[in-house]
Amino acid sequence: MTNTSSKTDLPASVVLVDAYSTGAVLARSFAREHVCVHVRSRAAMPAAFSASLPQGVFAADLAFQGDIDALAAAVAAHRPRAVVAASEFGVELADLLATRLGLPGNTPDLSRARRDKYLMANAVAKAGVPVAAQMQGSELAGLLQWYREQPERRVVAKPLDSAGSDDVYFCDDERQVAAAAQRILGKTNLMMQENRAILLQHQLDGDEYVVNSVSHAGLHWVTDIWRCHKLPAGTDRKIYDREDLVPPAAAEVAPLIAYASAVLDALGIGLGPAHTELILTAQGPRLLETGARISGLANPAALALATGTDQVELTTECHVDPDRLSQRPRLYERHKHARCVNLIARRAATLSHPALQRFFGDLASFESVRFRLADGAQTRPTTDLNTSPGALFLVHSDPGQIEHDYHALRQWEERFL
């Protein structure tokens, strides 16, 4: 851990746990008006994540070394007023640290259920909210026995606690279930955890949606809802194609919000941001998963153009200015159309940010791009979010312009990416 001051005249601070990826955006938002302290839940992080940590933002950068009391003492020296999980990595430690410091936070006894997808669905079902049938296990024989007993032939296999579509497979027979288990079990996942078990769930039929929200005192503000489109990547996987901002007056919005709010309540998420992925089936919404953190595609500038505000801004308010949050409408407005396009690499090549930026700049609806790979990095064919080179944000008053620019992008991509 870095050295900390014992002075009592230090200004109050905001503590961000694992400010990687879009957590860096959240850290910069807090740092504009508040002293920020960073806490690392792990001693080492993959280079792609560690490189995203913002520099010059934090008054201290502390590392959790297994002793929560020592960490709490080090953080307490900075007079913390809030503890925030800045990325999926930090969800559990943020819950624990807030509890030790006596600060507001989410229900500690459900902390693990906010990360483990099997426990998550069980907690939601226990609250009376319908979810897909599921099974978790580490032995292939037991997994196959459960599969044989199911009325549905198509299931999804995935790690219990990973993220970003990491090792998600669609299975239609026992052979595919066995192959998925072999790929997943024993592997170190994106969250740097060994997959000691896998999750099997009934495949849900319907359109996929994302509901992003911010909660305070058990009330939920919905900041943006997106309809997701995916493309097949081989016979057993799908990759994210695009997400379209849903108009708040759309017929599906009310049931999506009601279901997502029930999920948040069931998981004890009453403070801070959440990113909830759902399938709208013929029987109503059903849960894919919820993350107790901001969206991995949070983009304040693009969302401000489209809705007038964004999840990052409301997250800062819920922790440091709840009175201002309480005056905001509980559902966003849509001033412009917006689409997030996930770049799809077709081949191994050297990624050139300047070349991409030059092309993007000619698109009338282009707002910004967030690269997942560094300039000069080697691409490989995209199989999930982690192998997508980046995400492009299109915002315009004319949805036809967005559609035109989207097709121009995909055509250019076929040739050069």
Chain segment 151-178, per-residue pLDDT in tens: 988 999 999 987 767 788 999 999 999 9
- Decide the pairing of beta strands 35-40 and 13-17: parallel
Q: Which residue spans within 64-129 are E strands per DSSP?
A: 80-85
Mean pLDDT is lowest, of 103-112, 181-190, 326-335, for 181-190
Q: Report helix, strand or coil for 169.
A: strand
Q: Report helix, strand or coil for 84.
A: strand
Give the end-to-end CA distance of the chain in Å, rounded to a whole number.
42
Q: Report helix, strand or coil for 385.
A: helix
Give the confidence band of 232 by pLDDT, cuts at 50, 70, 90: confident
Instruction: Report pLDDT digits (tens) over 40-98.
Output: 998 888 777 788 899 899 999 999 999 999 999 999 999 999 999 999 999 999 999 99
pLDDT at 4: 44
Mean pLDDT is lowest, of 137-151, 159-173, 280-294, for 159-173
DSSP state of 132: -
Q: What is the arithmetic mean of pLDDT over 346-367?
A: 92
DSSP state of 295: -
Distance CA 54, CA 333 (A): 30
Instruction: Report pLDDT digits (tens) over 383-401.
Output: 888 789 999 999 999 999 9
Percent of the chain residues past pLDDT 90, beyond the cut: 79
Distance CA 170, CA 353 (A): 33
Q: What is the arithmetic mean of pLDDT over 351-373?
A: 92
pLDDT at 9: 65
Residue with token string 């288990």? 181
Say if CB 105 and CB 271 are below 8 A apart: yes
Give the confidence band of 8 by pLDDT, cuts at 50, 70, 90: low
Who's near 249: CB < 8 A, 6+ residues apart? none
Q: CATH says 13-105 is which class?
A: alpha beta
Query: What's the topology of domain 133-202?
Result: Dna Ligase; domain 1 (3.30.1490)
Say if CB 92 and CB 115 are below 8 A apart: yes
Rg (CA), the chain: 21
Q: Where do the domains of the chain lie?
A: 13-105, 133-202, 207-416
Indicate the helix (H) or strand (E) that contains 229.
strand 219-232
Give the pTM: 0.93
Distance CA 219, CA 84 (A): 17
Residue with token string 């949050």? 325
Say if CB 113 and CB 123 are below 8 A apart: yes
Who's near 361: CB < 8 A, 6+ residues apart? none
Q: What is the CATH number of domain 207-416?
A: 3.30.470.20
Mean pLDDT is lowest, of 130-139, 267-276, 383-392, for 383-392
Dihedral pair phi/psi, residue 60, rounded to 5°: -155, 150
